[in-house]
Amino acid sequence: MKMSEGVEWTAHACVLLAALPKGVGLPANALAEFHALAPAYMAKHMQALARAGVVESVRGAGGGYRLARAPRDISLWDIVEAIEGGEPAFRCVEIRQQGPCVTPQGDFRKPCEIHAAFARAENAWRIELKSVSLADMAAEVARKATPQKRALLTQWITGKLA
Amino acid sequence: MKMSEGVEWTAHACVLLAALPKGVGLPANALAEFHALAPAYMAKHMQALARAGVVESVRGAGGGYRLARAPRDISLWDIVEAIEGGEPAFRCVEIRQQGPCVTPQGDFRKPCEIHAAFARAENAWRIELKSVSLADMAAEVARKATPQKRALLTQWITGKLA
DNA sequence: CTATTGCGGACATATAGCATCCGGATTAAA
DNA sequence: TTTAATCCGGATGCTATATGTCCGCAATAG
Ligand code: FES
Ligand code: FES
């Protein structure tokens, strides 16, 4: 059970976008370059984010991606859902309905206990992810940054926007 | 992000073992047959459970697998850990340390915010799984079973133990 | 008109999951 | 002592998913 690395890629990218002035964005190429990632693959992931409504795309020269909502209104779960899809990790395939001890009158309308337990666990996981917003993470990153890093960052960003 | 189906296989198998008298077990073949699963693959999964100390193996004729502890002391998490391994689904590969804006004096000793958030979420997930025991699930299954199913089950089990 | 950028599909490769098979070791029972 | 049942670990093959690239098309700013 391994989560796609695309989640980390796009999460970092969104944190970067959250640090930009409202309504301003960056092209996929720049987002990939910022963390030295494969540009073509990053572009694919950003398309998924756009389809999911997490970011907005602006086509044409000078375009790129920008956040579709305020950083406070975008959670880590939104990103996971966009990249991984909303399907649960545990998928009950109803093996209880197979085998020599299944009765014809068996009642399988209610989910089995195993299924229900995993559903509860994944729900707790989602709730935790939904409670973390881009604003939270961006603020924490900014707090920990040294003055040098801050300067380097603003310089790089202005270079990309020019 | 998909969990191995082996988790469902072994979870059902353990619930079945929990319904047996204490100290009594069943061979891997029977555990596979009970839910019409691939016998060879089920055997592999049971070996993993034995290595993890969830079940005990008894070799030789009349042998098989039995629970290593009381059903109350085996949780769903124990099974997931045995089959999937304990590694987290989200694995931070530290891409924050790459790119044009990393400063030489960067402090990367503390985990980044994204990493920390996923760790919290997965911890909530694990806590929920640890709170569900085989005893809980077996009791629930028994409660929902019809008299016919109960009879069929005991007949099948006695056939396997003979 | 041209350069830039996103969009979607086709494609290729790598990794992980699914499943089988086999020889060896162990043990109960005939 | 022989036989059959059973677990163990490794080797193997197949399939699905993840990773990553490429290309033509559409949109848009200058
Ligand atoms: S029937 Fe197997 S988990 Fe629901
Ligand atoms: S550096 Fe990427 S999640 Fe920690």
Look at residue A125 and tell me if it is in a domain.
no
**A94 in ligand 1 pocket by Cβ < 6 Å?**
yes
Judged by CB atoms closer than 8 Å, whether chains meet at B146 and A105 is answered as yes
Look at residue B20 and tell me if it is in a domain.
yes
Look at residue A20 and tell me if it is in a domain.
yes
Residue in B with minimal Cα distance to A85: B1
DSSP string, B21-82: PTT--B-HHHHHHHTT--HHHHHHHHHHHHHTTSEEEE-STT-EEEESS-GGG-BHHHHHHH
Tell me the nearest-neighbour CA distance from A39 into chain B, angstroms.
13
Residue in A with minimal Cα distance to B137: A113
DSSP state of A93: -
What pLDDT digit, counting tens, does each position of B29-55 carry?
999 999 999 999 999 999 999 999 999
Look at residue A124 and tell me if it is in a domain.
no
Residue-range definition of the domain harbouring residue B9: 5-86+134-161
Task: Measure B12 CA to ligand 1 centroid, in angstroms.
Answer: 7
List per-block mean pLDDT (blocks of 10 residues) for chain A, which spans 162 residues.
Answer: 96 98 97 98 98 98 97 98 96 96 82 96 98 98 94 96 84
- Looking at ligand 1, which residue's alpha carbon is closest to its atom 1? A94
Look at residue A114 and tell me if it is in a domain.
no
Residues of A in contact with B128 (CB under 8 A): 117, 120-121, 124
pLDDT above 90 covers what percent of chain B? 94
The enclosing domain of A150 has a CATH number of: 1.10.10.10
Look at residue A9 and tell me if it is in a domain.
yes
Look at residue A41 and tell me if it is in a domain.
yes
CA A123 to chain centre: 17
